[in-house]
Structure 1
Amino acid sequence: MLKHKRALGGALTLVVAMGMAGSVLPATAAAATGAQSTVGKPARHTDEARLRALLHQLTTVDGAPGALAEVRDRHRSRVLTSGVADIESRTPVHRDSRFRIGSMTKTFTATMMLQLAGERRIDLDAPVERYLPGVVRGHGNHGRKITIRQMLQHTSGLPDFLAYLKPQDVVRDPMAHHDPRDLVKLALAHPPTFKPGTDWKYSNTGYLLAGMIIEKVTGRSYGEELQRRIVKPLHLHGTSFPGDDPAIPGPHPRGYAQPGPNAPLLDVTAVNPTVGGAAGGIISSGTDINRFMGALLGGKLLRPTQLKQMMTTRPTGGSDGRAYGLGLESKPLPGGGRYWGHTGDFLGYETAAGATFDGRQATVMVNLGPGASDAQSDDIQAAIETALS
């Protein structure tokens, strides 16, 4: 069943029942394979050693078969990998691997929405009803009461469709197509979680609606707009929105899920990603995500007014200092300052990315989701913060 793992965390993780159809594979503790360096000078030894140790922990103690970190600054980039892409063949993780990035998709979706706002084709403070008349209705939910801005910031009170998606429906047919309107209707069969604008709670439903607005306003599909507005201008060769295609193009690790502690790993690589859609359906690579985040913070994708709006945050209520803007979150760095990014979970995979205004970016990706505990998510976040500190 898809759900968000934490209040902020990312989001689209299929919680796999032990009886899920597919290959049942033995659990493995993978050994670190070391770093694969790219252009530039060597990183500071202490930072790279700490990052390498965290990747090793992800692929041993935490149980992920493989892990990848792509780290860059204004002068160099480097890729470190640990473990394996396939627990049967023991193939190492490819440096250009593509992963399902789950809720990292939201940052791409919000960027396109803000581009449309900058073009005056949408108004962030207009009600959803203006763009999707009659769509948000029922059980106390109404598109006249919810603004685009609230929807993008998770302050809309919209119920999250992932809270009501039946696990057996996904498990029974992982290749099934999920229409975003049907998923929205599933959510709207339940009352709002709060009055719009009065609180914060993560909801994937709002981002399905954002994808529908993009298509309505532009007259093109979400995937076409993603290519036109972000992928082609930034030359993101490993990024795609696959629609109904269950395959991951290009080099990629197999995706695994672990239903419980010491349970066998399940190969869940092939799944119809329409269950994520504009909230979590994109495929990308560490290199592409870092390039995207660098361009976003560098003002290459949004006008200054829209970038400022995207980065106008509100606290999420957690103890770690996180705050959420429009499809983008910020968090304090241990040594001072803040970084910007997002996290993402999808069946078989988990990703996190962060960037700073001084030109540093880091993306960490693993091919296990969900794992047996939250330790994996914690160590991914620690790796991001180590890389950016």
Structure 2
Amino acid sequence: MSVTSTDQPTPDRGSLREAAAGQDRPELRKSIEEIVEAGFLGVTLRVHDERGEWAGSAGLRELGGTERPPVDGHFRIGSNTKTFTAALALRLVAEGAFGLDDPVADHLPEFGPDRRITVRMLLRHTSGVFNFTGEVGEDGTVVPGIGLPYGEGGEAWLDDRFRTYRPEELVELALSKPARFEPGTGWSYSNTNYVLLRLLIEKATGRPFAAEMRRLVLEPLGLSGTVVPETSPEIPEPYAHAYYRYEEAGEQRTVDISRQNPSWVSTGGDMISTTRDLHTFISALTGGRLLPAPLLAEMCAPHPTGIPNMDYGLGVFVVTTDDGGTIISHNGGISGYAALMYSTPDGGRTLTASLTYVDDAAMTLAGTFQQVTKQLVEKVFGGGQAAPAS
């Protein structure tokens, strides 16, 4: 669907009113209203804490409509997928399928990765491998990867958004580029690490990645709203819509991009879920109901990233709050969708959310996203910094 638009409409106050489950929480209702007023199309928030559960939504489900986003709707979770993949990998470590310090080359010799790269380095983003979606050097030099909805390649991505990418071709592209640093000597967020994990998991188990995710993570936790879409462009109903805005012949046009083939971010950003399932997952994970205690401790052990107050474990950010506390987190963003997932280390307090918006090549709302997320985290956890949506 394509519609002509110069800006997204401002919802009336009726569409901003809370559609909520649980007790009245005016401070949370106000937060989601402020997110919509800041420029986002819609937001769904779920909070579990000592007062119980609260879930609500604000804004619009789709442009031109009047309905709010469904409180229990589906959305693309972007890089929150990495935490699911890491949990699966660690479950397989517990089963003895491979070890954290195994050289990746022992399992995937056909790709010729540096023999110093270990499974732990993939999970922690310390392998140094090129990010197949592109890299920006310290001097600002851009080394392009596959098409992304940002920068000069934005419209090319739009035209190509139903293309299928094989995991093998993503890895081959990445390993054909120079490494960012020697394995284990730095930290650099790279989607390639998680595609390599997918291929390693499939090689070690002899089963498809999606089947192993269902066996060891989704089914044990009853995550019936969570999907590994593979190459399917579909998103289960109900869902809020996401959009992409571009200029053509001097006119602003906006396209619904809710449907897209997410294989371009395979295993690191392609999954679909709900705020309810994200809460169940992160609460079970941090609460020790998914992994043995030693592996959970490995997962949440902070490794420096160079980002203030934000370290990285194995598939999770370890955030230090303004008051010295700790939050386990991962956020995600994928073309018009943003997903939030935060938990205290014991799983007792969680925040999960979905934001939908009109995306564009200039990433117009990126700064606003960081600001509104930081404010939301401060309100729920009493101080903190938002992990980036990557």
TM-score (normalised: structure 2): 0.86
Alpha-carbon deviation of 1:169? Answer: 5.0
Distance 1:344 1:326 in 2: 16
The answer as to 2:330 corresponding to 1:359 is no
Residue 59 of structure 1 aligns with an amino acid whose one-letter code is V
Residue 382 of structure 1 aligns with an amino acid whose one-letter code is Q
The answer as to 2:216 corresponding to 1:229 is yes
Describe the SS at the equivalent of 2:342.
strand
Does the Cα contact within 8 Å between 1:127 and 1:146 map onto a contact in 2? Answer: yes
The answer as to 2:68 corresponding to 1:80 is no
The answer as to 2:330 corresponding to 1:315 is no
Alpha-carbon deviation of 1:84? Answer: 0.5
Residue 8 of structure 2 aligns with an amino acid whose one-letter code is A
User: Please, which of 146, 149, 162 is the counterpart of residue 117 of structure 2?
Assistant: 146
Q: CA RMSD in A?
A: 2.1
Residue number in structure 2 paired with 1:325: 313
Does the Cα contact within 8 Å between 1:34 and 1:80 map onto a contact in 2? Answer: no
Q: 1:353 to 1:263 in 2, by over 3 A?
A: farther
Distance 2:379 2:120 in 1: 32
Alpha-carbon deviation of 1:30? Answer: 3.0
The answer as to 2:327 corresponding to 1:339 is yes
The answer as to 2:10 corresponding to 1:29 is yes
Describe the SS at the equivalent of 1:77.
strand
Q: 1:211 to 1:169 in 2, by over 3 A?
A: farther
Residue number in structure 2 paired with 1:180: 167
Does the Cα contact within 8 Å between 1:258 and 1:372 map onto a contact in 2? Answer: no
Residue number in structure 1 paired with 2:364: 372
Residue number in structure 2 paired with 1:102: 78
Residue number in structure 1 paired with 2:140: none
Does the Cα contact within 8 Å between 2:20 and 2:71 map onto a contact in 1? Answer: no
Does the Cα contact within 8 Å between 1:238 and 1:250 map onto a contact in 2? Answer: no
Residue correspondences, number? 355
Does the Cα contact within 8 Å between 1:22 and 1:268 map onto a contact in 2? Answer: no
Describe the SS at the equivalent of 1:275.
helix
Alpha-carbon deviation of 1:29? Answer: 2.6
Does the Cα contact within 8 Å between 1:97 and 1:251 map onto a contact in 2? Answer: yes
Does the Cα contact within 8 Å between 2:4 and 2:252 map onto a contact in 1? Answer: no
Q: 1:272 to 1:98 in 2, by over 3 A?
A: same
Residue 325 of structure 2 aligns with an amino acid whose one-letter code is G
Describe the SS at the equivalent of 2:327.
strand
Q: 1:252 to 1:318 in 2, by over 3 A?
A: same
Mapping of residues 10-49 of structure 1, within 5 Å:
22-25=2-5, 26-31=7-12, 33-39=16-22, 41-43=23-25, 48-49=26-27
Does the Cα contact within 8 Å between 1:352 and 1:381 map onto a contact in 2? Answer: no
User: Please, which of 9, 32, 53 is the counterpart of residue 55 of structure 1?
Assistant: 32
Describe the SS at the equivalent of 1:71.
strand
Q: CA offsets per residue over residues 295-336 of structure 1, 9 Å max, x none?
A: 0011111001110110111121122x0010000111123344
Distance 2:48 2:252 in 1: 36
Does the Cα contact within 8 Å between 1:158 and 1:203 map onto a contact in 2? Answer: yes
Distance 1:340 1:291 in 2: 14
Describe the SS at the equivalent of 2:133.
helix
Residue number in structure 2 paired with 1:305: 294
Residue number in structure 1 paired with 2:377: 384
Alpha-carbon deviation of 1:337? Answer: 0.9
The answer as to 2:240 corresponding to 1:253 is yes
Residue 159 of structure 1 aligns with an amino acid whose one-letter code is F
Q: 1:223 to 1:385 in 2, by over 3 A?
A: farther
Describe the SS at the equivalent of 2:331.
strand
Does the Cα contact within 8 Å between 1:24 and 1:267 map onto a contact in 2? Answer: no
Q: 1:265 to 1:22 in 2, by over 3 A?
A: closer
Mapping of residues 210-289 of structure 1, within 5 Å:
210-258=197-245, 265-289=254-278
Residue number in structure 2 paired with 1:165: 146
Does the Cα contact within 8 Å between 1:70 and 1:78 map onto a contact in 2? Answer: yes
Does the Cα contact within 8 Å between 2:21 and 2:55 map onto a contact in 1? Answer: yes
Residue number in structure 1 paired with 2:95: 119
Percent identity over the alignment? 31
Describe the SS at the equivalent of 2:54.
strand
Residue 363 of structure 1 aligns with an amino acid whose one-letter code is T
Distance 2:171 2:84 in 1: 20
User: Please, which of 201, 206, 211 is the counterpart of residue 188 of structure 2?
Assistant: 201
Alpha-carbon deviation of 1:85? Answer: 0.8
Describe the SS at the equivalent of 2:267.
helix
Does the Cα contact within 8 Å between 2:82 and 2:268 map onto a contact in 1? Answer: yes
Alpha-carbon deviation of 1:42? Answer: 4.2
Describe the SS at the equivalent of 2:330.
strand
Distance 2:3 2:188 in 1: 35
Is the deviation greater in 325-334 or in 375-384? 375-384
Alpha-carbon deviation of 1:377? Answer: 3.0
User: Please, which of 348, 351, 355 is the counterpart of residue 336 of structure 2?
Assistant: 348
Residue number in structure 2 paired with 1:4: none
Does the Cα contact within 8 Å between 2:282 and 2:343 map onto a contact in 1? Answer: yes
The answer as to 2:281 corresponding to 1:292 is yes
Is the deviation greater in 146-155 or in 183-192? 183-192
